[in-house]
Chain A
Amino acid sequence: MAKKMKTAAEVMLDVLYESGVRHVFGIPGGNSIPIYDALTHHPLNLILTRHEQGATHMADGYARSSGKPGVVCVTSGPGATNTLTGILTAMMDSVPIVVITGQSVTPNIGLDAFQEADVLGMSFASVKHSYMVTEAQDISRIIKEALHIATTGRPGPVLVDLPKDVSATLIDPEIENPENLPGFKDIPRADPEDLRKAADLINRSLRPVIMAGHGVVLSGAESQLRDFAEKMNIPVATTLLGKGGFPDTHEQCIGMPGMHGTAYANKAFTASDLIISIGARWDDRITGVPENFCPNARKIHFDIDPVEIGKIIPVDCSVVGDARSSLEGLLPLLVPGDLTRWNKQVNRWKKDFPLRYRKEGKLRAQHIIEELAKMAGTEAVACTDVGQHQMWAAHFVQSEKGNNWLTSGGAGTMGFGLPSAIGAQLARPESLVYTVVGDGSFQMTLCELATAAINKLPIKILIVNNRYLGMVRQWQHMFYENRLTGVDLEGNPDFMKLASAYGIKGFRVKRSSDVRKTLKAALAWNEGPCIIEAVVEQHDNVFPMVPAGATLDEMIIEAPRRKRSGTGEEQS
């Protein structure tokens, strides 16, 4: 009997399915038709998006919320280039996604064929790895390798460019095709000598702080971090991406450090004699000018990626390895000292400089974000877009676990908020998923409302509408003598009409006193997505703020009080 042959596209879908992938995000085009044809009779679930950028952010949100790789399948040319923003976003934040792009038939590659783009070449600067499949029988090996590379060690995006003639080629699916990655480095294990040195610095330190980053969440080191912090009684700051790696509700948690960090985290960093970074990469939004960053503190850096060691900040000790196993190795070497005085000091800062906002006057973004987070609870998945609302969400959403806080940190990609929530809701259908977006960033990917609606995903979309690109306005206001340009979003749509145009529920809230009532109704709405538009004070700025180039102790803790004008509204 003749062997049953399958197209390379079918074999690819089989390999994805066998690896545990259940959803593929994308939108087809001419050069990906063989892949979509294979999807017609395959158990993999296609999530049809309205734009390729949305597809990549959905895969990203799927991965961040579940720890499993997200898979994207799009066409060649513009379809492929539209994924680059999402690929960069995943690369900067170490998120495992696999992006499969259709490509022109092999004989046409490099000849400027219709919808041909050298997406492989374009990918080099922002992927963990990328492939062009030129031989159909390589497909199963390449897909296995792509998944392995994306999810192993420091995660990241992998692109697979698949020409149309290759995906349509019939091959024997039984052919053995093992992975072959001689250059893919094993996950390093912490060197015992480095651990001993780190433990020694920690044991001798009088004013230590821990900076927990995304690496804690990615390696599932939450409980090891907690053991470490509690055993030694060390305050813990979590970076924007590390949020949830240590519970915000824990008494030792000091929130986020850096440009829009809490005053008490920044004060603790400044006064500290030892900063212990675990899976955080000393991002410039935390360190500012590296030479001036906490010069009196020694620094220890735990990271899985040797590239990060000494990249920004010279450190006194480094431990290369997975955060969880490194912390497991560190724990027995630690001898608790008496840090009572230090903790007293930190707690005093916490009491003296709390995060707060004015509750009088118009509705405040912080108010509705804080209220939504409280009502949704810490089991919910919180997504954000990028801008002022993102920083306020970082301040006022209380996170207790990794994978429940999804935000674009490194790339700062506006448009991330809605599609990442779609991905998260698909990965975790039982969880409550909400996303906090700005009126500006929301409009960058709002076409995905259709994707959320058609799949009846009960996502709560909180649009914080100040009719501005607020973060840029804040900078222009504070550092460019309030010369506002390109930030007024006059011409915003009526978001309630927009909701009904997509057949989804809309709520609008303008007054502080209506917040709870509106949120209660929105949280009770489960027949698909809903929009909650909060029309908020237009000129609020995010504080604390460390101006660019300044040091952490030069932060501006609160907005200067201003005279009120006759209208009763705050002038900026």
Chain B
Amino acid sequence: MNQTNKHTISLLVSNKPGVLTRVTLVFARRGFNIDSLVVSKAQSPEFSRMNIEATGNERTLHLMLTQLNRLVDVIHAVDHASEDVVQRELALFKLNCPPEKRTEILQIAETFRGQTVDIGDDTITLQVTGKSSKVDAFHTMVNSFGILELVRTGKVLMSRGKESTA
């Protein structure tokens, strides 16, 4: 129960001010750091969907899930650690890119099906989408060119097939 793992929690919550604070307080109170957080409108405008990635031990995580579910504004909160779900993330990488490196960078981007969204004399901005692990791998590949800026959306996920996510 005490091993540390990465967890992806999806929540369906009321679409109201303050709900995000109530949710993040549950994590903060036990000193759990949030690795990524995505909030968006759900299919019904009454609700929002949250995807939270956090690392910590199983027992604390279990406690937090029950605490999240106890919140009146949380319709439900589910951990997807071991489930088969579709998960995606989008990242923008602004790289140091002198003309002589351009071809090499573009080749790597090609391999990862990255898209060029901006290009200048010495910089290039690439968009990469896919599983978080793919974004991680791309990050490793381009690190040596010099990353000027990096922004990731955080993980979003959805259950496969007819199953509803949470």
Chain A residues engaging chain B, CB cutoff 8 angstroms: 120-121, 124-125, 128-129, 132, 149, 181-185, 305-307, 309-311, 314
Determine the chain A residues whose CB is within 8 A of the CB of B13 once the complex forms: 183
B138: min CB distance to chain A, Å = 38
Given contacts A121-B21, A128-B72, A306-B69, 11 further A-B contacts (CB under 8 A): A124-B22, A124-B25, A129-B73, A182-B14, A182-B47, A183-B13, A183-B75, A183-B76, A185-B69, A307-B70, A310-B63
Chain B CB count within 10 A is highest, among A129, A132, A183, A306, for A183
Evaluate contact between A306 and B18: CB separation under 8 angstroms. no
Q: Which residues of B47-72 have CB atoms within 8 Å of chain A's CB atoms? A: 47, 59, 62-63, 66-67, 69-72
Contacts of B72 in A (CB 8 A): 128-129, 149, 181, 183-184
Q: A120 CA to B46 CA in the complex, in Å?
A: 21
Contact B75 A307 (CB under 8 A): no
Provide the residues of chain A in CB contact with B76, threshold 8 Å: 183
Main SS at interface, chain A: loop
Is residue B97 within 8 Å, beta carbon to beta carbon, of the partner chain? Answer: no
Question: Which chain B residues lie closer than 8 Å to A184 at the CB level?
Answer: 72
| Contact mask for chain B residues 19-33; partner A; CB cutoff 8 A; 1 contact, 0 none | 001100100010000
Given A125-B29, A129-B72, A183-B71, check contact A306 B66 (CB 8 Å): yes
Q: Which residues of A contact B62 (CB under 8 A)?
A: 310
Total B residues in contact with A, Cβ cutoff 8 Å? 24
For this complex, 10 residue pairs linking A to B, each with C-beta atoms less than 8 Å apart, are A121-B18, A121-B21, A125-B25, A125-B29, A129-B72, A129-B73, A183-B74, A306-B66, A307-B67, A307-B70
In the assembled complex, which residues on chain A have CB atoms less than 8 Å from the CB atom of B74? Answer: 183
Q: Which residues of B contact A (CB under 8 A)?
A: 1, 13-14, 17-18, 21-22, 25, 29, 46-47, 59, 62-63, 66-67, 69-76
Chain A residue contacts of B18, Cβ below 8 A: 120-121, 124, 132
- CB < 8 Å: which of A128, A132, A182, A310 contacts B75? A182
State the Cβ distance, B59 to closest chain A Cβ, in Å: 8
Nearest A residue to B62 by beta-carbon distance?
A: A310
| Distance to closest chain A CB from B112 (angstroms) | 40
A149 to B72, CA, bound (A): 8
B residues in contact with A182, CB < 8 Å: 14, 46-47, 75
Q: How far is the CB of B146 from chain A (nearest CB, A)?
A: 41
List the 10 shortest-distance A-B pairs measured between CB atoms, nearest first: A129-B72, A307-B66, A183-B75, A306-B66, A184-B72, A124-B22, A183-B74, A183-B72, A183-B73, A307-B67
Give the residues in chain B near A307, CB-CB below 8 Å.
Answer: 63, 66-67, 70
**B114 nearest CB across to chain A (Å):** 39
Q: Which residues of B contact A314 (CB under 8 A)?
A: 1
CA gap between A307 and B63 in the complex, in Å: 6
Instruction: State the CA gap A132–B22 with chains docked (Å).
Output: 14
Report how far A259 CA is from B18 CA in the complex, Å: 39
* Complex Cα spacing A128 to B74, Å: 12
Question: Which single residue of chain B is at the shortest CB-CB distance from A314?
Answer: B1
User: Which one of B1, B13, B14, B72 has the highest number of Cβ atoms from chain A below 10 Å of its Cβ?
Assistant: B72
A132 to B66, CA, bound (A): 25
Q: Chain B nearest CB: distance from A477 CB in Å?
A: 34
- CA of A132 to CA of B18, assembled, Å: 10
Distance to closest chain B CB from A203 (angstroms): 28
Looking at B13, B47, B71, the one whose CB has the most chain A CB atoms below 10 A away is: B71
What is the bound-complex CA distance between A183 and B22, given in angstroms? Answer: 14
Q: With the chains together, A314 CA to B59 CA distance in Å?
A: 10
Complex CA distance for A149 and B73, rounded to whole angstroms: 12
The CA-CA distance from A128 to B71 in the complex, in Å, is 8
A447 to chain B, nearest CB (A): 33
Identity of the chain A residue whose Cβ is nearest the Cβ of B46 in the assembled complex:
A182
How far is it, in angstroms, between the C-alpha of A185 and the C-alpha of B69 when the chains are bound?
8
Which residue of the partner chain B has the closest CB to A121?
A: B21
Q: Is the CB of A305 within 8 A of B70?
A: yes
Query: In angstroms, how far is the closest chain B Cβ from the Cβ of A177?
Result: 16
Specify which chain A residues have a CB less than 8 angstroms from the CB of B63 in the assembled complex: 307, 310-311
